[in-house]
Amino acid sequence: MEQSPLLLFFRRMFRRKLVLIAFLVLCVIMLMALLAPWVAPYEPTAIKVIRRLKPPGELNWLGTDEFGRDILSRIIYGARASLGIGFAVVLVSMTFGTLFGLLAGYFRSLDGLVMRVVDALMALPDILLAIFLVAVLGASAFNVVLALSIVYTPRVIRVVRASTLVIRELPFVEAARALGVSTRRILSVHILLNVASPVLVQATFIFAYAVLAEAGLSFLGAGVPPELPTWGTMIASGQQYADQAFWVVLFPGLAIVLAALSLQVVGDGLRDMLDPKLRKAL
Amino acid sequence: MWLKLGRRLGSLIIVMFLVATMVFFLTRLAPGDPAALMLGDQATAEDIARLRQVYGLDKPILVQFLLWLKEIATGNLGQSIFLQRPVIQAIAERAEPTFFLALFSVSVAALVGIPAGIASAVWRGRLVDQIVSGLAMLAANIPSFWLGLIFIQLFAVRLGWFPVAGYGEPGAPFMERILHLALPATVLGIVNSALIVRFTRASMLDVLSDDYIRTARSKGLSEARVVLRHAFGNALVPIITVVGLTAALLVGGAIVTETVFGLPGIGNLVVSAVLRRDYPVIQGALIVVAGIYVLINLLIDIIYTFVDPRVRY
Amino acid sequence: MSMNTPSLLSIQDLEIRFRTEDGEIAPVRGVTLSVAPGETLALVGESGSGKSVTSLSVMGLLPRPAGRVSGGKILFRQRSGRTVDLAALPLSDLRGLRGAEIAMVFQEPMTSLNPVLTVGEQIAESVRLHMGLGHASALKRAEEMLDLVEIPHARRRVHEYPHQMSGGMRQRVMIALAMSCNPSLLIADEPTTALDVTIQAQILALIQRLQREIGMGVLFITHNLGVVAEIADRVTVMYAGQVVETGSVGEIFRTPRHPYTNALLNCLPARARRGEDGRRVVQSIPGSIGKIGDGCAFAPRCVHATDPCGVGTVLLETEMDRSVRCLRWREIPA
C-alpha cells in the first residue's frame, strides 16, 4: 500500500498518545481564540457590578472578576493576545535566527562576531533582558513582540549554526559545491531544508517560552497595556482579590499552563520523531 | 589547561564589552532626555542644559560611551536618578535577598532534580520514568508568579505556615529570613528543577550505555555502586553545567518571583527602576547580572578540571 | 579431554532471545560447550554468530531488559565444589561470582575503563569487594597486579588515569583487573582485536603465562583463527547462533568436519595459498541470525548442500571428543 509522506508523518508523530492529546488541546485552544466572538458566552469587557467576584457556577462557568466580567470569556479572548504575541515572536525569531545562524555556520569569518553577540544576549536572564527592552522601547503589544524576539532569536541562531556546521561538511553539500552550485543556492536549498526540522522543534519550544514570558511581563506591568485582556494581565489585576476569589487567579494561570504544556509536548513529540538517536533513548 | 582558561577569560571580557555596548546604546534609544527626566517636570531649559553639561550629555555619543566604559571598568556604575545614591550601593543593599533566594532555589532544584533524573534514567521507560518526566515537563511550563500566588494562598493565607510576603524587619534573625525565603525558593526550585531533571536523565542515559559500566558490572559491584559511583561520576560534567547556569540565571532572573513575594532583591529593584525610568539603575543592574553570569561560567570551567581528569591534563 | 575431566563451565543447549522492534529474535540457539579447569577453549565465529552474546550470558550481562536466556543451562563449578546454573542464579548470588570466580576482559580497551577513576582505584575496588582487603592493602594489591601484567613503573602508574595510557597498556590493566581476585574462569571477548599486531602477540603471551601460573580455565572468543592456533587447547565453532563443530585444536585444523569450519580454514593465508578454491567457499551474505528456519543454517552458502540439508532440524552429533552439526560430514572429504 502506498502511503503519502504526510500521512506517514502524522502516523509516526502521534504514536505516543500524549502527543496526540496535546495536539488536540492546542487545536481547541487556537480554534477558540480564532472564533472567540462566537464561542465566548459573554463580551469580555461587559461589566456587571452586581455580579462581581462570583464563584464558578451556572451563569459564569469559571466565575467573574472584580468588575463582574465573565472569566471564561476573558480567557477565550485573552488567548488571542497571548497566543498571537507568542506566534508573532516565533515568526520573527525563526526568520532572523535562521538567517544569522546560516550565515554564522557557513561563513567562518562571521561566526566569531555573531556568536559573541549571541553570548552577550544570553548572558542576561530572559525576563531581565525582556523587561529592559520593553522599558527602552515603550510598553505596547508590538514592542513586547520585538523584545521577546530579541530574547529568543539567539537560541535559534545557536541551533541553526550547530546544524549548519554539521551539514556543510556532508558529502552532498561538497558535491553541490564541486558541481558549481552557487553559495546562495547551497544555503537556501541544500542546507536550509536540512536545518528545517531542528528549527521547527525549536519553534514550538519558543512558542511556549514566549507565552510564559509575555504573561510574566504583563504581570510585572511592563508588558501589554492592562486594558487588553491577556492571561498575564488577568492574573496581575486579579491578584489583589486572590484572598476572596481564588478563581480570578487560578483559571487564567491554568490556561497558560495548558497552552505552554501542550506546545512543549508537541515539540517533544516532533523532536523524538525527527531525531532517531533520541527516539531510541526513550 | 591554563591556556584554555586564559582563552576563555578573553572571550568573557569580549562578551562583557558587548553587553555594556548593547546596554548603553539601547538605553539611548529610549524616549526622553535623561537630564529632563532627572529634574522632573518643573525644570527650566537652563537647568536641563546645565545638568547635561555636568553629566557630559552634551558631548558626542561616542565620547560619552567611552567615558562610561571607563567608569564601569573602574567599578563606578553611576548615580541613581530617584534613589539619591550610587547605583552600586543600591544594588549592594539589595544583594542579600537575591543571593540567598538564588542559593536556596538552586539547592532545592538540584536536590529534587538530580535524584529524580537518575531514577528516571535507571528505570527508563518504566512508571518512575514516566511520572518523573511528566512532572518535569509540567514544572517547566508553570509560570512562577502564578505558582507563587497559589502557594501564598495555600501555605501563607489559608494555612498560615509562612509569612505572606516580604523579607522581615531589618536586622531580623536569619531563621526568620529563611522562613520568608521558604516559599519563593520552593517555587523557583520546582520550576527550575525541570531542566536539571532533563539534563541528568539524558546524561545518565548516555553514560549508562558506555563500556566501562559493563566492566563495573563484571566486577560484581552492586547496581547502586555502578550507578552512583561509575555512571554518576561520568555524568557530572553536564549536570554541573546546568546547575551552575541555573544558579547564574536566578541571580537576575527571579524578578517575577521577587515581585510576587515582595522580596527587596535586585529583581525588585529593576522592576521599580523600569517603572520609574531610572536608567542608570537598569544599566547598572544589567551589567552586574551579566558579570555574575560570566563569572559563574568561568567557575564552572574551573570545577570541570576537578571532576574530569581528562580536562586536567 | 572434557570427557574425563570434570568441567569448570558447561553450557548446555543454550538459547538466548532478544526483543526488538520487529519482534523477538534468537541470536543464540542450541549452544553447547564446556571448559575444563586450566584449559583454553576458543569460541570461533564471524561477527553476528552469537559468540559474544554467549559469553555475556555467562556473566549475566545481557543487555536488559531486551535480552534474556530463554532455554538451556550454564553450569559453573564454584570453588566450593558446588555446581550452579548461572542462568537461573539470583542476581545477588551471581554478583558474588562476578569478578571473584569468573572474570572478563572486553574487546575495547579504550572505552572499557572508567575515565574518571585511576586504574589503581578500579582494581582496588574489586579487590576490596571480593577479598575483603582494606583501602591501603587493596591499592598495594593493585600495584602488584600491574607489576604482574608487566606494566613498568607500577608504583607510579597505579595512580594514573586510563587516558594517560596506550591501548595496549589499558588492555594490560583490564587483564590485571580481571585477574586481581584469582578467578577460576576468565572470559576474554576478542581481547586483542582492537590492538596492533605486535601488541596482540604480547597480550596473548601474557594471558597464556598467567593461565599457566594461576591455572584457570579460559573461554577465549575470537574470529581470528591465527590466534586460535596459538592459544587454544580446544575449539568450538559457531555459525548463525549455533555450535557447528567442536574438537581439539589439532583435530579441527587437521581434519575439519563441518563445511563451514573448512571454509574458515581456507581463508587462512597459509591454506588459501595451497588450493585454487581458497576463497570461493565463503560467498553470499552470512547466515541471518535468529530467524528459526528449517534445515541447516549454513546450507544456503554450503557447496556440499543437498536437498535434505534444507529441511528438519540438524542435530549436533557427538563422537568421542568431537561434535559436528552436519548431515553429510561422513561423506565430505576434509
Q: Which residues pair with C187 in a beta bridge?
A: C104, C219
- Please indicate whether, in this complex, the C-beta atoms of A124 and B286 are within 8 angstroms of each other: yes
Residues from chain B contacting residue C103 (CB–CB below 8 Å):
218
C132 touches chain B (CB under 8 A): no
d(CA B209, CA B215): 11
Instruction: Please measure the distance between the N-terminal and C-terminal CA atoms of chain A and give it in whole angstroms.
Output: 29
Q: What is the pLDDT of residue A3?
A: 57
Question: How many other β-carbons are positioned within 10 Å of the β-carbon of residue B165?
Answer: 16
Superfamily (CATH H level) for B93-312: MetI-like (1.10.3720.10)
Q: Which of B129, B195, B274 is the mutation pick for testing A, counting most A CBs within 10 A?
A: B274
The 8 Å CB, 24+ separation contacts for A32-41 are A32/A76, A32/A79, A33/A76, A33/A79, A33/A80, A33/A83, A33/A84, A34/A80, A36/A76, A36/A77, A36/A79, A36/A80, A39/A76, A40/A70, A40/A72, A40/A73, A40/A76, A40/A77, A41/A70, A41/A72, A41/A73
Alpha-carbon distance B310 to nearest alpha carbon in chain A (angstroms): 24
Alpha-carbon distance B221 to nearest alpha carbon in chain C (angstroms): 7
Residues from chain B contacting residue C61 (CB–CB below 8 Å):
214, 217-218
Alpha-carbon distance B213 to nearest alpha carbon in chain C (angstroms): 8
Range A5-281 has CATH code 1.10.3720.10: yes
- Whether the link from the prior residue into C115 is cis, omega within 30° of 0, is no
Residue C284 confidence (pLDDT) above 90: no
Q: Residue A4 phi/psi, 5° resolution?
A: -70, 145
Q: Which alpha helices (H) appear in chain A, and where do they start and end?
A: 5-13, 17-34, 36-39, 71-106, 108-122, 126-137, 141-167, 171-178, 183-185, 192-220, 231-238, 247-274, 276-281
Q: Residue B178 corresponds to which cell in the numbers above?
A: 529563611
Alpha-carbon distance A181 to nearest alpha carbon in chain B (angstroms): 36
Neighbour subunits, C (≥3 Cβ pairs < 8 A)? B
Mark which residues 5-64 of B lie under 8 Å from A by CB: 11, 14-16, 18-19, 22-23, 26-27, 29-31
Residue A230 confidence (pLDDT) above 90: no
Question: How many other β-carbons are positioned within 10 Å of the β-carbon of residue A88?
Answer: 18
Nearest to B218 among C96, C98, C161 (CB): C98
Domain ranges of chain A: 5-281
Segment B60-78 shows an average pLDDT of: 83
Q: Of the given ranges (B251-260, B263-272, C21-30, C319-328), which has the lowest mean pLDDT?
A: C319-328
Cα dihedral sign, C254-C258-C259-C263: negative
The answer to whether C28 and C52 have CB atoms below 8 angstroms apart is: no
- Please indicate whether, in this complex, the C-beta atoms of C95 and B220 are within 8 angstroms of each other: yes
Buried b (16+ CB within 10 A) or exposed e, C177-188: bbbbbebbbbbb
Give residue-wise pLDDT tens across range B175-220: 888 888 989 999 999 999 999 999 999 999 999 989 999 999 999 9
Give residue-wise pLDDT tens across range A18-27: 888 989 999 9
- Going by their DSSP bridges, the two strands C234-239 and C242-248 should be labelled as antiparallel
d(CA A5, CA C81): 63
In chain B, DSSP finds a helix count (H) and a strand count (E) of 15, 0
Segment A230-254 shows an average pLDDT of: 85
Give residue-wise pLDDT tens across range C93-137: 999 999 999 999 998 888 999 999 999 999 999 999 999 899 999
| Neighbouring residues of A16: CB distance < 8 A, sequence distance ≥ 6 | A269, A272
Residues from chain B contacting residue C163 (CB–CB below 8 Å):
309-310, 313
C164 touches chain B (CB under 8 A): yes
Give residue-wise pLDDT tens across range B73-126: 888 887 787 777 888 888 988 888 999 999 999 999 999 999 999 999 999 888
- Please indicate whether, in this complex, the C-beta atoms of C96 and B220 are within 8 angstroms of each other: yes
d(CA B54, CA B270): 25
Give residue-wise pLDDT tens across range B274-300: 888 788 888 899 999 999 999 998 888
- Please indicate whether, in this complex, the C-beta atoms of C116 and B309 are within 8 angstroms of each other: yes
Residue C236 confidence class, pLDDT cut points 50, 70, 90: very high
d(CA C279, CA C51): 23
Alpha-carbon distance B228 to nearest alpha carbon in chain A (angstroms): 20
Q: Which alpha helices (H) appear in B30-80, and where do they start and end?
A: 34-39, 45-54, 61-73
- Please indicate whether, in this complex, the C-beta atoms of B252 and A136 are within 8 angstroms of each other: no
Residues from chain B contacting residue C99 (CB–CB below 8 Å):
218-221
Residue A54 confidence class, pLDDT cut points 50, 70, 90: confident
Cell 583490564 locates to C174
d(CA B194, CA C136): 42
The answer to whether C135 and C124 have CB atoms below 8 angstroms apart is: yes
Which of the given ranges, A42-51, B162-171, C55-64, has the highest pLDDT on average? C55-64
B160 touches chain A (CB under 8 A): no
Mark which residues 44-103 of A lie under 8 Å from B by CB: none
Closest residue in C to B310 (Cα) is C163
Residues from chain A contacting residue B27 (CB–CB below 8 Å):
136
Question: How many other β-carbons are positioned within 10 Å of the β-carbon of residue A164?
Answer: 25
Give residue-wise pLDDT tens across range C163-212: 999 988 999 999 999 989 989 999 999 888 878 888 888 888 988 988 88
Alpha-carbon distance C299 to nearest alpha carbon in chain B (angstroms): 36
DSSP C142-178: HHHHHHHTT-TTHHHHTT--GGGS-HHHHHHHHHHHH
Q: What is the pLDDT of residue B38?
A: 67
Alpha-carbon distance B202 to nearest alpha carbon in chain C (angstroms): 18
d(CA B198, CA B246): 13
The answer to whether B244 and B294 have CB atoms below 8 angstroms apart is: no
Domain ranges of chain B: 2-73, 93-312
Residue C1 confidence (pLDDT) above 50: no
Q: What is the pLDDT of residue B175?
A: 82
- Please indicate whether, in this complex, the C-beta atoms of C98 and B220 are within 8 angstroms of each other: yes
CA distances from C229 to A201, C205, C225, C234, C248 (A): 56, 13, 6, 9, 10
Residues from chain A contacting residue B255 (CB–CB below 8 Å):
125, 127-128, 131, 216, 220
The two most distant CA atoms of chain C are separated, in Å, by 67
Residues from chain B contacting residue A25 (CB–CB below 8 Å):
none
- Please indicate whether, in this complex, the C-beta atoms of B233 and C117 are within 8 angstroms of each other: yes
Regarding an ipTM greater than 0.90, the answer is no
Closest residue in A to B202 (Cα) is A281
Q: Residue B282 corresponds to which cell in the numbers above?
A: 537598569
Burial class, C312, CB count within 10 angstroms (exposed 0-12 / middle 13-18 / buried 19+): exposed
Give residue-wise pLDDT tens across range B161-170: 888 777 777 7
